[in-house]
Amino acid sequence: MNGDSNNSGSTEAVLKVNIDGQNRRFVLIADELVTIGRASSCGIHLQDKSVSREHCVAMFTNGKIVINDLRSTHGVTHNGEKVGHCELRPGDTCQLGSALATFEPSGTQLQAKIVKAPAEPPAVPVAPSPTPAATAINITPTAEVTNAASSDSTNPIRNIAGYRILETIGQGGYGTVYRAEQIRLHREVALKVLKQGDDSRDHKAQIEAFLREARLAAGLHDPRLVQIYDVGESDGEHFLSMELIEGGSLARKIRRDGPIPWQDVIRLVRDIALALKVAHAAQLVHRDVKPGNILLAANGQAKLTDLGLAASGEHAGTIAFMSPEQLRRETIDGRADIYALGCTAYAALTGNPPFAGDRQEMARGHLKQKPTPLLDCDMQVPYHLSQLIVESMMAKDANDRPQSATAVVERLDRMILPSNIEPAGLDEEDYPSVAPTRLGRPIRRDGSSKSQKALMARICADAIIFGIVGGTVIALLLGLKAIWDIDIYRMIGR
């Protein structure tokens, strides 16, 4: 442990991972969260069957590497025991499945090939040491650098058809998203560049789907949809530029802060349902509604992104949020998006998707199992909200779900609005402030219960008046008896 003092002030640490006798080294940047797993979207991408798609998250902070398990199948083993959380100091090791991870002391990796494992862009400060059960959701981008001394600031600046690329902010199976400057307008945008396919026929089909869906999405205008600015091609690279949202994704917020209060989830679900209403009206099914595709603006509004771009085929999607009919490869409609939005709301409330495990286990859950009821998850959630999410939106049969995004909005409005206000008259700024009651029904904090208070005050006043009158009559009768010796009992009897 002698290297601890040498690393406590470092801005980088090297994590060496040994799989089947082969070593790979990854640079961790101080206080940046990186996801480790088998999925291509992970910051540290490990090709080993014992490693789950999103196995764990790691962060280098205060001279040590902190690792938190994400409920992986084969877990994290430290000092011979399965743990949910462990801290590695220079020279310490742990196992991720059967892969051996080592915090390599400084000075030992100079001749080794190192891959930089970036975290998500620091639009919002990342809190250190997240809890092990925070979430199994990840959209951490991936980028590789072959020189240990390289950094994003020293990489040559690339230009794409009037855009200057500033940094990589996301990467997935379909394309890479960059923060870029639109040179002529002097504004920053999110620039998505389609990946080059290995098969020319497949890549041609991807290009056609990319352009078709991008143009359709660009024709949709709603403040809850991430706006598309431009779509084009430059030197064989197909791209689109879109609105840059600084607040980061819902997935990142869940991973950083854990479960979200139900009051905020109501607004989030309402925002995305309204975005889906616009998309569905244009006959466009999103097919990949999930926390990673929901961005949070600075004013708290939720925005839906990757509309029609997250999948090149009708049945593609993210299995943790995929409807049963998508898994069965049946024809899907907007009700599949409603199911995925229900799963997303469940993940926001609990910190985890409704079904855990590997792909087969998650698929089996969507097809045959019921998720743990929200009211059994040790949280305060209104009963009617729990019913809407678990029993209605996540119903296995599409016919048992709300049949449109509008129906979801109407049910949410009935929960949060008093009966004398019409939901259709609400604008964004008119969202009521809601609070739980003993019966699990929300009431407005701004005084919608004033009528009940007035009624109680009137009853109390009437009781006081009745008591005063009654007491006066009794006192008068007793006085008559004492002065004139009148038999008041005989008077009452008459």
Token pair of 385, please? 């909200």
Please count the residues of the chain.
494
Going by C-alpha positions, the residue among 465, 461, 462, 437 that lies closest to residue 449 is: 437
CB atoms within 10 A of CB 278: 17
For this structure, is 288 an active site residue? yes
Q: Which residues contact 202 (CB under 8 A, 6 or more apart)?
A: none
C-alpha–C-alpha distance, residues 444 and 446, integer Å: 5
Check: CB of residue 120 under 8 Å from CB of residue 252: yes
Q: Which residues contact 457 (CB under 8 A, 6 or more apart)?
A: none
What's the Rg (C-alpha) of the chain? 30
Dihedral sign, CA of 422, 423, 424, 429? positive
C-alpha–C-alpha distance, residues 423 and 461, integer Å: 36
Dihedral sign, CA of 222, 320, 249, 339? positive
- Rounded to 5°, the CA angle 213-217-223 comes to 160
Return the beta strands (E) in 297-346 as ranges.
302-304
Check: CB of residue 433 under 8 Å from CB of residue 444: yes
288, 400, 430, 485: the active-site residue? 288
Could you tell me the CA-to-CA distances from 14 to 58, 64, 254 in Å, in that order? Answer: 12, 11, 27
Q: Which residues contact 16 (CB under 8 A, 6 or more apart)?
A: 23, 24, 25, 26, 101, 102, 103, 104, 109
User: Which positions are catalytic?
Assistant: 288
